[in-house]
């Protein structure tokens, strides 16, 4: 005999189907609940099961599932009323029983508003029903944002500068739903389809990462027109520079960056960790010879791997198995194990060997620990003066 909790579970499982039927304008009720209606063999257990089923039904509580009963006589149980059919007869009975009255009201209200404004995103509604219900309170604001960006594509303003009656965190808080709508409603020519970053994708201004730059050759500093040998430059400003082919040394640790020696035709840039993919936004880097220097550990070598997705010719500095073996006894540190990282691609065999050791032995050698004499020696060999 089915338990009322099992009926509730089945009803919850039917809720997504009910939403789709409602969207199509079709009838869903009465809704039959397939159920095991066989009485337990023990007469006392059978009586309890029937009483429990009845106690949670619409007949007793005023809402919920209804039961069609039929009289049955058996040798074991005698004459009894047993459930013939269990079903929800109305929408209210169904929603109240699974405690989704408010959620469904939010959902239907949001759907009606969206269909009025943007009938072309009907398929999105069907695929994002839970998100839509959760965002129902923000529907009016979402429409304000979308309408503004349709009328003013790629405005070049910060989100908080948009002349809209929304709070300053509204767009940030609703990026997921806004992206779904904007991708469908904006002209394709106004969307940077290759860009995952929300502001860059839709032409909003944002707090750009600032890259630390050190000019290791005065002639490059002069070409940049910078009065400083080191400075911090916004990413998009750096991307607009007109730079001839130079050597670029990307260094994660700031102390290592600031203590690099002068090197011919070379500038150094501070690394930005897992955001290293943002370097792809600097067009002139693709014409440069790039070196990357980070920690010898799982994270550092994984960053190098991701860097090479956008810059396949990037060379590593002091991040191979030879460097690891030379310094592991004096400088190697044990680190806490983390979940297995994705197997790195784009590593050389020497880099991959270092990764495997770091992964299996929970080992790290931080780049700032490597003696400066070793660093200067290899830099002078890699960047010889004329």
The model's pLDDT over 18-30, given as tens digits with 9 standing for 90+, comes to 999 999 999 999 9
pLDDT at 119: 95
Distance of alpha carbon 373 from alpha carbon 226, whole angstroms: 29
Pairing of strands 247-251, 266-270: parallel
Q: 35 falls in which pLDDT band (50, 70, 90)? A: confident
Q: Is the pLDDT of residue 218 over 90?
A: yes
pLDDT at 171: 96
pLDDT at 37: 66
Task: Please state the length of the chain.
Answer: 386
Q: 182 falls in which pLDDT band (50, 70, 90)? A: very high
List of residues 6+ apart from 356 with CB closer than 8 A: none
pLDDT at 275: 76
Helices (H), 75-194: 91-97, 101-117, 122-127, 129-134, 139-151, 170-173, 175-185
What are 71's strand-pairing partners? 81
Residue 145 has φ and ψ, to the nearest 5°, of: -65, -50
Q: Is the pLDDT of residue 369 over 90?
A: yes
pLDDT at 73: 65
Of 256, 262, 259, 277, the C-alpha closest to 319 is 256
Element (H or E) spanning 327, and its range?
helix 321-331
Q: 277 falls in which pLDDT band (50, 70, 90)? A: confident
Q: Is the pLDDT of residue 213 over 90?
A: yes
DSSP class per residue in 201-246: HHT-B----EEEEEESSHHHHHHHT-SSSEEEEEHHHHHT----S-
Tokens of 115: 């269909």
Q: What is the longest distance spanned by two Cα atoms in the chain?
A: 107
Cα end-to-end distance, the chain, whole Å: 90
pLDDT at 79: 64
Q: 216 falls in which pLDDT band (50, 70, 90)? A: very high
Q: CA 319, 321, 324: angle at the middle one, nearest 5?
A: 75
Give pLDDT tens digits for 53-67: 899 899 999 999 999
Give pLDDT tens digits for 163-174: 999 999 999 999
Distance of alpha carbon 165 from alpha carbon 168, whole angstroms: 9
Element (H or E) spanning 80, and its range?
strand 78-88
What the chain holds in terms of domains, given with CATH numbers, is 4-97 (no CATH), 101-202 (no CATH), 210-382 (3.40.1360.10)
- Give the residue, 330 or 20, on which the prediction is more confident: 20
Distance of alpha carbon 99 from alpha carbon 93, whole angstroms: 10
pLDDT at 353: 95
Could you tell me the CA-to-CA distances from 13 to 8, 104, 199, 338 in Å, in that order? 9, 15, 38, 36
Q: Of 3-7, 40-44, 61-65, 342-346, which gets the smallest average pLDDT? A: 40-44
Could you tell me the CA-to-CA distances from 113 to 106, 121, 142, 354 in Å, in that order? 11, 12, 11, 57
Task: Please compute the mean of the pLDDT values over residues 355-372 and round it to a whole number.
Answer: 93
For residue 285, what is the DSSP state?
G
Task: Please compute the mean of the pLDDT values over residues 266-271 and round it to a whole number.
Answer: 91
Residue 320 has φ and ψ, to the nearest 5°, of: -120, 180
- Return the percentage of the chain with pLDDT > 70, whole number: 96
Task: Please compute the mean of the pLDDT values over residues 96-112 and round it to a whole number.
Answer: 95
Residue 134 has φ and ψ, to the nearest 5°, of: -70, -25
Q: 78 falls in which pLDDT band (50, 70, 90)? A: low
The mean of the pLDDT values for the chain is 90
Task: Please compute the mean of the pLDDT values over residues 186-207 and round it to a whole number.
Answer: 93
């Amino acid at each position: 005999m089915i338990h009322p909790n099992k009926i509730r579970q089945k009803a919850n499982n039917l809720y997504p189907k009910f939403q789709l039927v409602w969207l199509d304008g079709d009838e869903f009720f009465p809704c039959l609940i397939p159920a095991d209606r066989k009485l337990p063999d023990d007469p006392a257990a059978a009586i309890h099961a029937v009483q429990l089923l009845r106690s949670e039904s619409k007949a007793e509580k005023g809402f919920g599932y209804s039961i069609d009963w039929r009289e049955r006589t058996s040798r074991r149980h005698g004459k009894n009323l047993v459930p013939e059919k269990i079903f929800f007869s109305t929408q209210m009975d169904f929603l109240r029983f699974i405690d989704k009255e408010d959620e469904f009201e939010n959902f239907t209200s949001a759907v009606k508003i969206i269909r009025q404004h943007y009938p072309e995103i009907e398929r999105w509604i069907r695929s994002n029903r839970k998100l839509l219900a959760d965002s129902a309170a923000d529907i009016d604001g979402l429409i304000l944002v979308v309408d503004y960006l349709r009328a003013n594509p790629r405005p070049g303003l910060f989100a908080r500068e948009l002349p809209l009656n929304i709070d300053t965190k509204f767009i940030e808080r609703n990026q997921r739903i806004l992206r779904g709508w904007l991708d469908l409603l904006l002209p394709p020519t106004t969307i940077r389809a290759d860009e995952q970053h929300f502001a860059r994708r839709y032409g909003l201004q944002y707090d750009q990462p600032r890259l630390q730059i050190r000019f290791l050759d005065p002639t490059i500093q002069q070409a940049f027109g910078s009065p400083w040998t080191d400075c911090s430059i916004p990413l998009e400003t750096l991307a607009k520079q007109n730079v001839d082919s130079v050597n670029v040394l990307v260094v994660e640790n700031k102390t290592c960056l600031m203590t690099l020696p002068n090197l011919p035709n070379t500038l150094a840039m501070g690394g930005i960790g897992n955001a290293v993919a943002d370097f792809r936004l600097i067009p002139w880097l693709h014409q440069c010879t790039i070196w990357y220097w980070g920690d010898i550990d799982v994270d550092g070598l994984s960053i190098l791997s991701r860097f090479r997705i956008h810059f396949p010719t990037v060379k590593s500095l002091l991040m191979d198995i030879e460097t690891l073996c030379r310094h592991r006894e004096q400088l190697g540190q044990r680190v806490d194990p983390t979940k297995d990282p994705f197997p790195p691609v784009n590593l050389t065999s020497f880099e991959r060997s270092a990764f495997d050791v770091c992964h299996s032995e929970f080992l790290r050698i931080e780049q700032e620990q490597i003696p400066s004499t070793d660093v200067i020696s290899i830099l002078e060999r890699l960047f010889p003066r004329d």
